[in-house]
């Protein structure tokens, strides 16, 4: 948290210094304002002030508006200070890429655990994607790759349809949703056209942060700290590979978790643990071979 003080306005509050520290209403407000900024409906300065006021819990009242009109000089000085504070304190929330403002999103909590579209209630993944299956990750990763390459919003809808499904029986990965049916994804995805754009943007940011956490974060499993980073830090030049799909084929052939269907339904953490154990065994074998 950051502490801000504006004595002449009687303001002394703490505001979040990251997206992970925001409440759900705060995060939703920031995403709405960011969407308005991207659409050109508000300026960057107005965006920063609106976000700062929300995070600081500052509300404009009739009394404050009257005071501004009666004391224009003092109101102008306060406004300048607010703008400077907004630029200083909100800088940690954003990065720039070729002059484009991008959220430095770090929140792993799913603030959209369910989506209501008309009469439908659709259940999303748990925080940090801890309850998705290997098949769900493969399908979602493919849609995200296609969206990155084409910017076609239909791939966002497909991604949402992959991870948000109607309530159903508990799946092997831990989720209580209907089983994933890849063949029906595009048809089911049509209903996600009605999800507001700012919510889709929030979902994309959250999903990307969770995948980054899977690749670089630290997890406590059976009392031990585990990082899957070694699986994603290979500096050897990449050859021809099917990526995650190839890994699925290899694991199904070994039948560690069962056949193709059973392996696809396995929780992604269990899959990564097996891959990490295989890597450790292979690295140790190479070391022992060099020693001999």
Distance CA 126, CA 266 (A): 15
**Selected residue with higher pLDDT from 98 and 74:** 98
What tens digit of pLDDT does each residue of 141-161 get?
Answer: 999 999 999 999 999 999 999
- Per-residue pLDDT averaged across 28-53, rounded? 88
Residues 150 and 206 in one domain: yes
Number of domains in the chain: 2
Domain limit, last residue, from 78, 103, 128: 103
Both tokens assigned to 272: 């990564």
Q: Is 147 left (phi over 0), alpha (psi -120 to 50) or beta?
A: alpha
Pairing verdict, β 218-221 and 224-227:
antiparallel
| List of residues 6+ apart from 247 with CB closer than 8 A | 271, 275
Residues 131 and 233 in one domain: yes
Domain limit, last residue, from 60, 80, 103: 103
What does each C-alpha distance from 207 to 116, 211, 216 come to in angstroms?
Answer: 19, 6, 14
Residues 114 and 84 in one domain: no
- Per-residue pLDDT averaged across 124-134, rounded? 95
What tens digit of pLDDT does each residue of 100-111 get?
Answer: 778 899 999 999
What tens digit of pLDDT does each residue of 209-264 get?
Answer: 999 999 999 998 888 899 999 888 765 555 555 578 888 888 888 898 999 999 99
Domain extent, residue 28, equals 2-103
| List of residues 6+ apart from 124 with CB closer than 8 A | 110, 112, 113, 114, 115, 163, 164
Backbone angles phi, psi at 251, to 5 degrees: -70, -35
Whether the pTM exceeds 0.95: the reply is no
């Amino acid at each position: 948290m950051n502490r801000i003080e504006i004595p002449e306005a009687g303001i002394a509050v703490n505001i979040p210094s990251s997206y992970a520290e925001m409440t759900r209403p705060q995060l939703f407000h920031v995403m709405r304002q960011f969407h308005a900024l991207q659409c050109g409906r508000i300026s960057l300065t107005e965006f920063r002030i609106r976000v700062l006021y929300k995070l600081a819990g500052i509300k404009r009242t009739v009394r404050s508006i009257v005071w501004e009109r009666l004391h224009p000089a003092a109101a102008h000085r306060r406004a300048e200070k607010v703008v400077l504070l907004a630029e200083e304190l909100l800088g940690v929330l954003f990065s720039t890429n070729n002059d484009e403002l991008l959220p430095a999103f770090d929140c792993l909590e799913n603030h959209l655990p369910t989506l209501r579209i008309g009469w439908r209630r659709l259940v999303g993944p748990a925080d940090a994607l801890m309850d998705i299956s290997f098949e769900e990750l493969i399908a979602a990763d493919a849609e995200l790759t296609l969206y990155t390459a084409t910017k076609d919003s239909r791939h966002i809808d497909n991604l949402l349809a992959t991870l948000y499904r109607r309530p159903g029986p508990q799946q092997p990965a831990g989720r209580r949703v209907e089983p994933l049916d890849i063949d029906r994804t595009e048809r089911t995805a049509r209903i996600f056209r009605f999800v507001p754009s700012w919510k889709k943007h929030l979902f994309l940011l959250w999903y990307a942060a969770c995948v980054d956490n899977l690749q670089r974060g630290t997890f406590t499993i059976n009392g031990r700290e585990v990082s899957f980073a070694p699986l994603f830090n290979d500096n050897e030049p990449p050859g021809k590979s099917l990526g995650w799909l190839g890994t699925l084929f290899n694991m199904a052939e070994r039948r560690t978790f069962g056949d193709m269907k059973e392996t696809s339904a396995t929780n992604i953490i269990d899959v990564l643990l097996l891959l990490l154990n295989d890597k450790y065994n292979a690295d140790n074998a190479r070391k022992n071979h060099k020693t001999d």
